[in-house]
Structure 1
Amino acid sequence: MVKKRIEWVDMAKAVAILFMIIGHELSGEARNFIFSFHMPLFFILSGYTSRKITSFEGFKNNVAKNFRRMWLFASLMVILMNLESWVLNPIPMDEFLLHLVKGIFWGANILKYDVTNVGVVWFLYAFFWGKLIYDGVCVLIKDWHIEGGIFLFGAAIAYLLARKELWLPQTLDIALVAAFFMWMGAVLKQAKFDEMKHEKWLLSLAFIYWIVCLTQGLSLDLSVRSYPKFLVTMLEALAGTLVWIKISKYLLLNQLTQKLSYFGKHTMVLLCIHHLDFYWIKWGGWIQSEFSQVLLRTILDLTVFFIVMAIMKLRQKISMISL
């Protein structure tokens, strides 16, 4: 059975992945604006679109599928980034292997442990473990209120660990926050928030809350375990996601902007290109202007993206002809 795509979900993911590329080269208020919602949005939408797992058999199948699609793929991306770095700056093989193992073990860039080779695929490790935690709790607990309490408790543990600068291997602490966001998404789906009679009021309150948080300089950054004021920024991420879901629906109404949803259908491809574009390894230090960094890296990543997609489409056509 082919799962039907939800157009506004693809558009929202497209906005988030493009903001991810841009946000990595920005600082200050512009960076806070993007980081206040862009990665939590992916976890929230995962909870919204995922079918709830209620059996151990379904849980086992889901873990196996996500292990192949997320964990193994993330590890491959870490290996490829290490190889890129080694080609440009060769080091002894024992150092190379140690750096590689540390990267996969921690699953995130952590300077205090001399891990700098994971790049953006920390997200895939966090997604894999977050989904495992989320599905596991849903199998064991059938009441969504109790589930919410468990996920909130897990997120609180992650927050306390972050305050002590204690990171768990495999981004398991970030995964606890990811699971909480997934639960938020599932609640939104259960409540049918986009069909509510008072949707405009809800969105207005979400927009006001989001903007107030931004004016206070508040935003979270999952990759470095930054959760200022904890629940305040958790709710800020939810509010920002709600606002961008609505904006995404408006973008679909315009023939020009609706083409952006193409990126949302292939976020994994763009994530990998961004991860392997040599920017952090080599050429990023050559550019000083933030605007130039944003412009050049975005153009590069999107150009490579379209080349890769064209090759994939060509291969598909050749395969169909050969059949």
Structure 2
Amino acid sequence: MWKRRGTVKIKCAKIKPDLIIAYLTKEFQNGDIVEKKRIEWLDIAKAISIILVVLGHAGHAYLDIYLGWFRMPLFFFLSGILFKPVLFKNYINWASNKTFRMMLPYFVYGIAIYIIFNIQNLSLLPEHLYNLLYWGSGLQGPYGVFWFITVLLITQLLLGIIANFYKWIQFSIIAVMFIAGHLQVVTEIDWPWNINVVMIAIFYYSLGYYCRNIISKYHDSLSIAFVSAFLAVLAILIDVNGYLDFYLNLKMSSYNHFILDIIIPLLFFMPIIYISNLITRFPIKELLKVIGKFSIVIMYLHLPVNIFFRTILDYNVTTFEFTILGVIIPVILGYIFSLTKPTRVLFLGIK
């Protein structure tokens, strides 16, 4: 608009809200995002990660403790490598699609598992649905890993917003969340969907996103993998001998040292990535790539499968059998689900 001051015309520009958002964000800098391509070593790393998750749930005390140091942080880290930023203007549509694709299988698996184990008592199904809607760490038994899905979803949705801001703002938000997530006032509350764990998980997830170029450059570095593996083994030995009191369990919000919660899990990442890259040279990679492809199906079903053997079939599986059954049967089911469009949508969240 124009204002008249004497005989001189002065032009006053309107400040639009969109420009304020653009200033605080880097939306105006973003171009089109290229489609993700499958990376062999990443699929294999996901396979190793999910196998370690299954192995940790097999009931061996020491395996559960030491695999717990890094197995879930690793899964978030690997998932973060594939994170694709989204512009603010596309966020609602993106978030809606992602929520639908992740939560539909969440409820389909939850209902199917309930029916299989409670076919004689379906009257409690509404209460079970409420539990799926609310609980995180409170979901136990065959639903013991369902917390991961909701935490992963909220982590992705949150980073989808944060990633639009300048890097210093992104890093500041994530750092504050990670530190605040360790506060007792946060960890002692039983939050719906384990939403408090997002404050920790987003660190590992975003680390995969921010470091993916570095990982791509050094994923085949033997020296980095060797040093990391040496330090990881050293940390375990120090803990075994009573000189280190470290415990990490994301589901139960059991983490009490934000410095070690950064360092120790990271020591295990590069050795596993290096081994995954090494495996790409051998025929067994094809099997592991399939396992990696159906890692979410394994996440959902490895506990129900083994509980079915132990309770319904009255067969007490060993640690080895628990791992094999918990991986192979879900992979077979995942392949079957992939054959038709309805089952792909319902069980895999893909079209």
CA shift digits 1:156-204 (9 cap, x unpaired): 22222477521221211111212111111122124x2442599555434
3-state SS, counterpart of residue 253 of structure 1: coil
Alignment of 1:298-309 (within 5 A): 298-309=323-334
More helix by share: 1
Does structure 1 residue 108 correspond to structure 2 residue 134?
no
Does structure 1 residue 23 correspond to structure 2 residue 56?
yes
Does structure 1 residue 167 correspond to structure 2 residue 214?
no
Contact 1:103 1:109 in 2 (8 A): no
Does structure 1 residue 249 correspond to structure 2 residue 277?
yes
What's the C-alpha RMSD, in Å, of the aligned pairs? 3.1
Paired residue for 1:132?
157
Structure 1: unaligned runs, 5 residues or longer: 317-323
Does structure 1 residue 3 correspond to structure 2 residue 3?
no
Specify whether residues 303 and 8 from structure 1 end up closer, same or farther in structure 2 by C-alpha distance, changes over 3 A only. Answer: closer
Deviation at 1:13, TM superposition (A): 0.3
Moved more, 124-133 or 272-281: 272-281
3-state SS, counterpart of residue 118 of structure 2: helix
- Tell me the distance in 1 between the aligned counterparts of 2:55 and 2:340: 30
3-state SS, counterpart of residue 222 of structure 1: coil
Deviation at 1:276, TM superposition (A): 3.4
CA shift digits 1:49-92 (9 cap, x unpaired): 22223x2133223311220121232233222333233225x27x
Alignment of 1:19-98 (within 5 A): 19-53=52-86, 55-87=87-119, 90=121, 93=123, 95-98=124-127
- Tell me the distance in 2 between the aligned counterparts of 1:197 and 1:266: 23
- Tell me the distance in 1 between the aligned counterparts of 2:78 and 2:161: 18
- Tell me the distance in 1 between the aligned counterparts of 2:220 and 2:290: 31
Structure 2: unaligned runs, 5 residues or longer: 1-33, 241-245, 342-351
Specify whether residues 194 and 211 from structure 1 end up closer, same or farther in structure 2 by C-alpha distance, changes over 3 A only. Answer: farther
Paired residue for 2:11?
none
Moved more, 194-203 or 264-273: 194-203
TM-score normalised to structure 2 length: 0.75
Larger radius of gyration: 2
Name the % identity. Answer: 22
Specify whether residues 203 and 294 from structure 1 end up closer, same or farther in structure 2 by C-alpha distance, changes over 3 A only. Answer: same
Specify whether residues 26 and 86 from structure 1 end up closer, same or farther in structure 2 by C-alpha distance, changes over 3 A only. Answer: closer
- Tell me the distance in 1 between the aligned counterparts of 2:323 and 2:185: 31
Aligned length: 302
Does structure 1 residue 259 correspond to structure 2 residue 287?
yes
Contact 2:187 2:196 in 1 (8 A): no
TM-score normalised to structure 1 length: 0.81
- Tell me the distance in 1 between the aligned counterparts of 2:329 and 2:264: 33
Deviation at 1:14, TM superposition (A): 0.3
CA shift digits 1:116-137 (9 cap, x unpaired): 6632121110100111111111
Does structure 1 residue 296 correspond to structure 2 residue 318?
no
Specify whether residues 298 and 157 from structure 1 end up closer, same or farther in structure 2 by C-alpha distance, changes over 3 A only. Answer: same
Deviation at 1:44, TM superposition (A): 0.9
